[in-house]
């Protein structure tokens, strides 16, 4: 059954965010449910967004000398068990193949939840001397983590991501790589998605299984929940010792490499959709939108049709020539109203309406998706005005999201106030915490709020834990996650 692009059929974001989110993803042809429980099909319009992310991150990674490669989907269980914390952390989410070719496997195969173990077994074969370092490899792939409760993009059994894995001579080099990757993720969110984030360090409980330290970018969604946007890990020498990745140093001694891993997934797109959409559909920031401008001819019968389509084609070609991602919607199968609704639901930043009047006057009517404002511009001034409009939309979306983040980030000093915020508005809470795991668990059990991170900007202060009253030196960021 084809989706009908009519506003009255789209659930309203202002009334039910969760229902709207699922509805708009389906109606905007971003993704659809698959026959496999917990998995989704990413449709071309949605996958184009992921390709834009790939292009941007590939540019960033290549600037640091990182190359793409590919490693197997199946990982021998014996490899996964080499790093104790790692296998314990992932054990509840593993999908395991025990039979292959009709025979029981002696060493069961795990369907890739992440690739540290399969990659590091190879690194041990490739690294012998300091001359073999650094190893700078990334791969774009799919991973499987068996989720009991799934949600399109935000939490699926199978998802797509990039995972970078580097090995270095010194911890200093590894830490520099960790922070560089973290800033790449910040750039994707803030510069491309127009979504502000908080960068920080995860608690010992929340860090990646097997890591020495985990860093994160955290975003705040319209319902006051937190989204972990991407993580970067200092693995120290934990994995290199387990997998025997040693090298001869410049001084002739033997040492284990210092490692990092970092990942950014299709989950990020869920955060993008939630942040900027409205009751009429998605609102895509121009920098990430696969179609930045759609040209819609307003045809009235067959009279003058060819000339009007020629004029619209001229407009499209001029924009494409300037690097503006533009589509001409010259379909006969849809009415003008249906086309307008469809592109509104899909969130295309700018719509150009072109009828006989515009053709005769050599003008175009520009409609911006975020505000609905329309303006008629001269054809000769069209390109600079559209380029300026796209820039304005990108900045406006970021400014609105930043205002929301700042307005919904609160300093809280008492646990009763902490509980009240979580019962009402939610959002980010900055509060002193003693950094004891038992206290962290108690806060989460009572309020559903977990530590999101210790912001990189946090200063050392004297305080008392918001929950237990013990001495504390930092205000941590708390929030309820998806």
Q: What is the DSSP string of 81-114?
A: TTSHHHHHHHGGG--EEEEETTEEEEEEEEE-S-
Domain ranges of the chain: 7-72+123-142+151-276, 293-390, 409-479
How far apart are the C-alpha atoms of 40 and 34, rounded to whole Å?
5
DSSP state of 275: H
How far apart are the C-alpha atoms of 440 and 433, rounded to whole Å?
8
CATH superfamily of 293-390: Anticodon-binding domain (3.40.50.800)
Domain 7-72+123-142+151-276 shares a fold with domain 409-479: no
Say if residue 302's pLDDT is above 90.
no
Say if residue 73's pLDDT is above 50.
yes
Question: What pLDDT score does 91 carry?
Answer: 78
In DSSP notation, 4-62 reads P--GGGSPPTTT-HHHHHHHHHHHTTSEEE-SSTT-EEEPHHHHHHHHHHHHHHHHHHH
- pLDDT tens profile 318-327: 999 999 999 9
Taken as a whole, the chain contains a residue count of 482
- The CA radius of gyration of the chain, in Å to the nearest whole number, is 25
Residue 112 CA: distances (Å) to CA of 117, 166, 460: 10, 18, 40
Which whole number is the average pLDDT over 42-68?
Answer: 98
- pLDDT tens profile 131-148: 999 999 999 999 999 888
- pLDDT tens profile 185-238: 999 999 999 999 999 999 999 999 889 999 999 999 999 999 999 999 999 999
- pLDDT tens profile 333-370: 888 999 999 999 999 999 999 999 999 999 999 999 99
For residue 242, the Cα-to-chain-centroid distance in whole angstroms is 31
Read off the pTM: 0.94
Q: What is the CATH number of domain 7-72+123-142+151-276?
A: 3.30.930.10
How far apart are the C-alpha atoms of 452 and 169, rounded to whole Å?
31
Residue 301: which pLDDT band, with cuts at 50, 70 and 90?
A: confident
Say if residue 3's pLDDT is above 80.
no
How far apart are the C-alpha atoms of 370 and 390, rounded to whole Å?
11
Statement: 409-479 belongs to CATH 2.40.70.10: no
How far apart are the C-alpha atoms of 293 and 383, rounded to whole Å?
11
Contacts with 367 (C-beta within 8 Å, 6 or more apart), sequence order: 350, 351, 352, 353, 373, 374
Question: What pLDDT score does 11 carry?
Answer: 95
Instruction: Please provide the average confidence, as pLDDT, over all residues in the chain.
Output: 95
- Work out the percent of the chain whose per-residue pLDDT is above 90: 91
Question: What pLDDT score does 88 carry?
Answer: 74
How far apart are the C-alpha atoms of 276 and 402, rounded to whole Å?
12
Residue 5: which pLDDT band, with cuts at 50, 70 and 90?
A: very low
Which of 11-25, 79-93, 300-314 is predicted least confidently? 79-93
Say if residue 8's pLDDT is above 60.
no
């Amino acid at each position: 059954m084809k989706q009908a692009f009519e506003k009255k059929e789209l659930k309203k974001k202002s009334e039910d965010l969760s229902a709207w989110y699922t509805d708009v993803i389906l109606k905007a042809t971003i993704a659809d449910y698959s026959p496999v429980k917990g998995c989704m099909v990413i449709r071309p319009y949605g996958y184009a967004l992921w390709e834009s992310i790939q292009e941007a991150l590939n540019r960033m990674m290549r600037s640091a000398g990182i190359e793409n490669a590919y490693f197997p989907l199946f990982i021998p269980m014996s490899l996964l068990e080499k790093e104790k914390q790692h296998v314990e952390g992932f054990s509840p989410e593993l999908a395991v193949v025990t039979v292959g070719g009709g025979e029981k496997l002696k060493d069961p195969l795990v369907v890739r939840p992440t690739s540290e173990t399969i990659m590091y077994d190879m690194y041990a074969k490739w690294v012998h001397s300091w001359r073999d370092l650094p190893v700078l490899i990334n791969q774009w792939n799919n991973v499987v983590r068996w989720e009991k409760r799934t949600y399109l993009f935000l939490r699926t059994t199978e998802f797509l991501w990039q995972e970078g894995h580097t090995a270095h001579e010194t911890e200093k080099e590894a830490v520099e790589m960790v922070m560089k990757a973290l800033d790449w993720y910040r750039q994707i969110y803030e510069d491309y998605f127009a979504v502000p984030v908080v960068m920080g360090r995860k608690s010992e409980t929340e860090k990646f299984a097997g890591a020495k330290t985990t860093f994160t970018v955290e975003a705040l969604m319209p319902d006051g929940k937190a989204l972990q946007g991407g993580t970067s890990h200092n693995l120290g020498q934990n994995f290199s010792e387990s997998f025997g990745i040693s090298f001869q140093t410049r001084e002739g001694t033997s040492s284990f490499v210092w490692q990092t891993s970092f990942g950014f997934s299709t989950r990020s797109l869920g955060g993008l959709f939630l942040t900027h959409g409205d009751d009429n559909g998605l609102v895509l920031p121009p920098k990430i939108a696969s179609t930045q401008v759609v040209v819609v001819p307003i045809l009235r019968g067959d009279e003058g049709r060819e000339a009007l389509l020629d004029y619209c084609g001229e407009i499209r070609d001029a924009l494409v020539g300037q690097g503006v991602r533009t589509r001409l919607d010259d379909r006969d199968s849809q009415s003008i109203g249906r086309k307008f609704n469809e592109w509104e639901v899909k969130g295309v930043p700018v719509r150009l309406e072109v009828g006989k009047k515009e053709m005769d006057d050599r003008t175009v009517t520009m409609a911006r998706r975020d505000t609905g404002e329309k303006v008629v511009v001269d054809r000769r001034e069209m390109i600079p005005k559209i380029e300026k409009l796209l820039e304005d939309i990108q900045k406006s979306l970021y400014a609105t999201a930043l205002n929301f983040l700042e307005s919904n980030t609160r300093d809280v000093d008492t646990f009763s106030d902490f509980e009240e915020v979580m019962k009402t508005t939610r959002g980010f809470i900055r509060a002193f915490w003693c950094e004891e795991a038992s206290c962290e668990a108690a806060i989460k059990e009572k309020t559903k709020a977990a530590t999101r991170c210790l912001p990189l900007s946090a200063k050392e202060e004297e305080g008392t834990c918001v929950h237990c009253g013990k001495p504390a030196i930092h205000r941590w960021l708390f929030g309820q996650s998806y």
